[in-house]
A = this chain, B = another copy of it.
Amino acid sequence: MRSEPARLRFEIGARDGAARTGVLQTRHGPVKTPAFIPLATKGTVRGLESHEVAALGYEMVLGNTYHLFVSPGPERIAKAGGLHGFMGWERALITDSGGFQVFSLAHGGVANEVKGSGRQGGDQGSVVSIEEEGVHFRSYRDGAELFISPEVSMQVQAALGSDIALVFDECTPFHADRDYTARSTGRTHRWLERCLEWHEREGPVRQAIFGIVQGGIYEDLRRESAEAVSSAAVDGLAIGGTLGRDKAEMREVLSMTAPLLPEAAPKHLAGIALGLDVFDCAVPTRLARHGVALVPDPDNRFRLDLRKSGHTGDRDPIAADCPCPACQNHDRDYLSYLSRAEELTAVRLLCIHNLTYLQELMVHARAAIEAERFNAYSRAVLSGESPWTA
């Protein structure tokens, strides 16, 4: 870990057990943590303008290096003033390394394992070869052969001009054996050094770098990786890779990995809705596309499927007292109809609802940590109370 306030400053605030609040001070303003980070995968949060995402209270979004590399390409975005200028987003921006998407092509199941079983649609290209130097793959758009390596990833992220870049790593699938995982983790560490070398030499001076801890489900490999990444000149840490075959195994991997990381470091969890300081997740926007709203209903995995029957004539909002326009202006009857009719208005309204719901969850979690009642808050939410009343 290095400490370069010019790149990124992380101020830890209140603590309550293992939980904590904090503020990431970026070039583009503060990000209060714990924070959920909406995906602006292809340069837009689904259906929303950037100023609307800011109005929901979000202080950071995640841009997808793989997608933006394939189209419209880093040169075009750089000319537009980086991803901030291109999409008109004035707050903090984090970019992933592209590794997750590239390796999900190779390992097939990774994306589905980590991100749920949703359709991966546009992501389906093909990997030609994985080498020490980098990965050759085909564009899902036009079949053109593309190459991504630690250097290319950092170069693209430099062009995107994100406040926080992630290093290029291999995301190993949970079914990889110990031997494969060990070799892959070793390569990820060598790639980390190449990322940092390129960035030191040619990267934007004020762009912060997060290293990624791999090691699969093997405690010794996780420990080895935590030590390697923590001792590198990174500004923060992300826990990467497939964390296990189910939620129990995921919790096990997380709880063995988190204590291995330096206390002071800001920590990011990629791909999964279970947070350290910062986490991103495709779920709220992907669910919206499929007509599913997040609701305080543990019996149904906190989901309300508006495309299922049974909502006809239902005059209740999606979630009582939710401050979003979907809940303030409309009932389940109408939203269910709109969603089944596959109207854009429904996707947008559900997106706004789901992002509001997660933002409320975070705002009230931070308040609960500050009031040293995070356990009670967490229990209440898990047992079905609304974030805004728990």
Contacts and interface: CB of A to CB of B under 8 A. Distances in A.
A383 interface: no
A42 interface: yes
A163 to B, nearest CB: 20
Contact of A71 (B43, B334, B337): B337
A301 to B, nearest CB: 25
Given A45-B345, A47-B344, 4 more contacts: A49-B345, A87-B334, A88-B334, A344-B347
Contacts of A343: 42-44, 46-47
A330 interface: yes
A76 B349 contact: no
Nearest to A343: B44
Interface string A42-76: 11111111110000000000000000000110001
B47 A312 contact: no
A120 to B, nearest CB: 16
Interface of A: 42-51, 71-72, 76, 79-80, 86-88, 312-313, 325, 329-331, 333-334, 337-338, 340-341, 343-349
Nearest to A315: B80
B47 A333 contact: no
Contact of A49 (B325, B340, B341): B325
A72 B313 CA distance: 11
A153 to B, nearest CB: 21
Contacts of A346: 44
